[in-house]
Copies of this chain bind each other. A is one copy, B any other.
């Protein structure tokens, strides 16, 4: 049986598995899965060098299934090869054909869409929200280059999916870095969910677009194994990244699934045998011997080792500041939190080669530039394309790196879907959003992030299934806090978000002050009122506390710099101020005030008032003027405090 017949036979048999498992699940996407069956089999059974017994092997070629809904095709091939499943090596077992019937069950590693975190380590990232896989592939490819591992990254992309702009952001980045170890394979079956795919995503147009983006593009028959294999040959000779545009048939081998109305519909149980018979009929149609195709063992991966897992050796603040050449700024006693992020990133990068940084053309504003200048080989300039930047970081994290991603906090919001997918895949990425909040002033609201606190806090009380929050977040008030919070991000195994501000602010803390996830610090103590704030507003609140003290009201001031917030210290402090709490923020509601209110309302022993940004901001020339306009100036806070106290 020649290779073409082998893949035909495999595609028929695995196609039958796809039909059976989706019918058993009562949901899923058999027609999409059948359209990529030859592509998947050719890759997994022949082209890819990988070890089904060790899907964690760092030398394995990788397959990223960007069109995640077609995952039953991969599950079927994986079971055929006895690939290992499990959330860790100790609990891993080989996937069997029988296991396929557990698709989408609560205890099955075969989730509805690809997810390495639920026990399918063959994948590197959660996919299923479309258009993100090629970016993940770019991250895996950059990581392999950096580690000098000769491996190929194959990304399967749907034609309809390639409408997502992020795909083209990834095409640009891969071309910028000449990542010839990535192959983008577009499966053009011509059908979307609600309608046929636009001519803008036809095979010819996609090939023309890829060429215009600086890629080598070839159009092939996606059900011809020889054509697939030859298109993928001679990887080491590639001068440009390769885009394979494969003409495929949605519902291949099963005429009853090929009508446009079949997207995402499993075969009804009473039609299962007929559908299986249709696939069996392909043996005759393809003149392929009706014999169980021989087993195939993928070629072994190269002998390489994974990164050593270890805690990053600490560097104290003063040493890091000196190394960054900022001792002068320190003597002035003022430093922006965004600049302290740069100082910390530089120090952390010096302490561990796993640390990499990505930025979106604002590195001189976020100060990831300090790292970029010292460690250019570990810095990825993603240009103005935040979605691709976040998903690229996910790919690098999957390869064992510790990626730090930075942009303006406002522009990070462009990648919230990608961030949620990173949480689902338990990607160990660190995100820092700068220029947050209304203190940015003159640039106006298009550059300010105002919903980020509520958004990231929302993921702080959700367990990632490994005993950690889905996302930890930080909102440091001074440079020392920002420095230590960056280190906390580096050593925490899981997603983190940090919010920094543009303005230089005075130092509030001693260099060796301890910081922790969910922590807070008491900056002033009094019995009148407990004021809770974070970030830039802590400085404004300090002025308010002084105003109140001059009126004879001694207030407690707490800097609550991290979520998920440990609220007990705040509630205890409030008990000394008659249970009176005032929260002050430079963002919209649902952030710190929400966290304190939730804790207080659950305990039922405090009264929490809140001050936030209550009008869509516009430009103002200075932070002080902006605060006054927003009713968040020291005098406003003091007045609100008095109204509570009177």
The answer to whether A606 touches B604, judged by C-beta atoms less than 8 angstroms apart, is yes
State whether the Cβ of A549 lies closer than 8 Å to any Cβ in chain B: no
Residues of A385-430 at the interface with B, using a CB-CB cut-off of 8 Å, are: 385, 387-388, 410-411, 413-414, 416-418, 420-421, 423-424, 426
| A169 and B165 contact, CB distance less than 8 A | yes
Residues of B near A117 (CB, < 8 A) are 616
Q: Mark A437-451, 1 if CB is under 8 A from B, else 0.
A: 000001111110011
Nearest B residue to A364 via CB reads B194
Q: Are the CB atoms of B112 and A447 closer together than 8 Å?
A: yes
Q: State the number of copies, please.
A: 2
> A610 is contacted by which of B161, B384, B444, B602 (Cβ under 8 Å)?
B602
**B194 and A462 contacting across the interface, CB-CB below 8 Å:** no
* Given A68-B446, A112-B443, A413-B416, A163:B384 Cβ within 8 A: yes
In the complex, how many angstroms separate the beta carbon of A550 from the nearest chain B beta carbon?
27
B414 pairs with A410, CB closer than 8 A: no
Distance in angstroms between the alpha carbons of A383 and B410 in the assembled complex: 26
**In the bound complex, CA of A155 to CA of B246 (Å):** 35
Q: Mark A105-146, 1 if CB is under 8 A from B, else 0.
A: 110100111010110000000111111000000000000000
- Cβ of A600 under 8 Å from chain B: yes
Known: A384-B131, A410-B129. A461 touches B604 (CB 8 A): no
**A193 with B621: in contact, given A129-B411, A130-B384 (CB under 8 Å)?**
no
Chain A residue total in the interface (Cβ 8 A): 127
**Given known contacts A442-B25, A465-B615, A105 and B590 CB-to-CB distance under 8 angstroms:** no
- Judged by a CB distance under 8 angstroms, whether A325 is at the interface is no
Tell me if A361 and B208 are in contact (CB < 8 A): no
Instruction: Closest B residue to A628 by CB, please name it.
Output: B106
Is B160 a contact of A616 with CB atoms below 8 Å? Answer: no
Q: Using CB atoms, name the residue of chain B closest to A193.
A: B361
Structural contact, A384 and B160, CB atoms closer than 8 A: yes
Complex CA distance for A579 and B603, rounded to whole angstroms = 12
Q: Does A231 contact B (CB under 8 A)?
A: no
Q: Which residue of B is nearest A590, CB measured?
A: B458
A9 CB, nearest partner CB in chain B, Å: 30
Distance in Å from the Cβ of A599 to the closest Cβ of chain B?
Answer: 8
A459 at the interface (CB under 8 A from B): yes
| Chain B binder among A211-219, A249-257, A339-347 | A211-219
Cross-chain contact B447 with A451 (CB below 8 angstroms): no
Contacts of A194 in B (CB 8 A): 359, 361-365, 369, 381
Point out the residue from B213, B461, B602, B625 that lies within 8 Å of A597, measured CB to CB. Answer: B602
B-contact bits for A340-371, CB 8 A (1 contact / 0 none): 00000000000000000001011111000100
Q: Is A150's CB within 8 Å of the partner chain B?
A: no
Give the residue name and chain of the B residue nearest to A617 (CB).
B424
Output the least CB separation between A115 and chain B (Å).
7
Q: How far is the CB of A587 from chain B (nearest CB, A)?
A: 8
Question: Does A589 sit at the interface, judged by CB under 8 A?
Answer: yes
Q: Bits for A584-624, please: 1 = Cβ < 8 Å to B, else 0.
A: 00001111011011101111101111101111101111000
Query: Using Cβ atoms and an 8 Å threshold, which residues of chain B touch A629?
Result: 106
Judge whether A512 is part of the interface by a CB distance below 8 angstroms: no
Q: Is the CB of A126 within 8 A of B445?
A: yes
Instruction: Provide the bound-state CA to CA distance between A601 and B167, in Å.
Output: 46
Decide if A454 is an interface residue (CB 8 Å cutoff).
Answer: yes
| B420 lies within 8 A of A411 (CB) | no
A509 to B361, CA, bound (A): 53
| Residue of B with least CB distance to A580 | B604
Residues in chain B near residue A536, CB distance under 8 A:
none
Interface residue from B160, B387, B579 paired with A165 (Cβ < 8 Å)? B387
Instruction: Please tell me if A26 contacts chain B, counting CB pairs below 8 Å.
Output: yes
Contact of A167 among B105, B165, B387, B597 (CB under 8 A): B165
CB pair B423–A616 under 8 Å, yes or no, is yes
Given contacts A384-B161, A413-B416, whether A602 and B607 have CB atoms under 8 Å apart is yes
Q: How far is the CA of A172 from the CA of B176 in the complex (A)?
A: 23
Contact A111 B594 (CB under 8 A): no
- Considering the chains assembled together, what is the distance between the CA atoms of A188 and B506 in angstroms? 41
Check if A457 is an interface residue, CB within 8 A of chain B.
Answer: yes
Contact with B along A624-639 (1 / 0, CB 8 A): 0110010000000000
Q: Are A420 and B451 in contact (CB under 8 A)?
A: yes
Give which listed residue, B129, B463, B588, B598, contacts A615 with CB less than 8 A: B463
A620 touches B384 (CB 8 A): no
Residues of B within 8 A of A359 (CB): 194
A445 CB contacts on chain B under 8 angstroms: 115, 126, 424
A575 close to chain B: CB less than 8 A: no
Residues of B within 8 A of A26 (CB): 442, 621
A301 is an interface residue with CB less than 8 A from chain B: no
Query: Min CB distance, A402 to chain B, in Å?
Result: 21
CB interface residues, A 64-118, toward B, < 8 Å: 68, 104-106, 108, 111-113, 115, 117-118
Binary B-proximity of A200-230 (CB < 8 A = 1, otherwise 0): 1100010011011110000000000000000
| Apart from A200-B213, A387-B414: 7 A-B pairs, beta carbons within 8 A | A106-B619, A165-B387, A413-B420, A420-B450, A454-B590, A461-B612, A465-B616
Q: What are 12 of the A-B contact pairs (CB < 8 Å)?
A: A27-B442, A106-B618, A129-B447, A165-B385, A172-B200, A175-B200, A426-B616, A454-B457, A593-B598, A594-B597, A601-B606, A601-B608
Task: Give me the interface of A with B, judged by CB distance under 8 Å.
Answer: 25-28, 68, 104-106, 108, 111-113, 115, 117-118, 126-131, 160-161, 163-169, 172, 175-176, 192-195, 197-201, 205, 208-209, 211-214, 359, 361-365, 369, 381, 383-385, 387-388, 410-411, 413-414, 416-418, 420-421, 423-424, 426, 442-447, 450-451, 454-455, 457-465, 470, 579, 581, 588-591, 593-594, 596-598, 600-604, 606-610, 612-616, 618-621, 625-626, 629
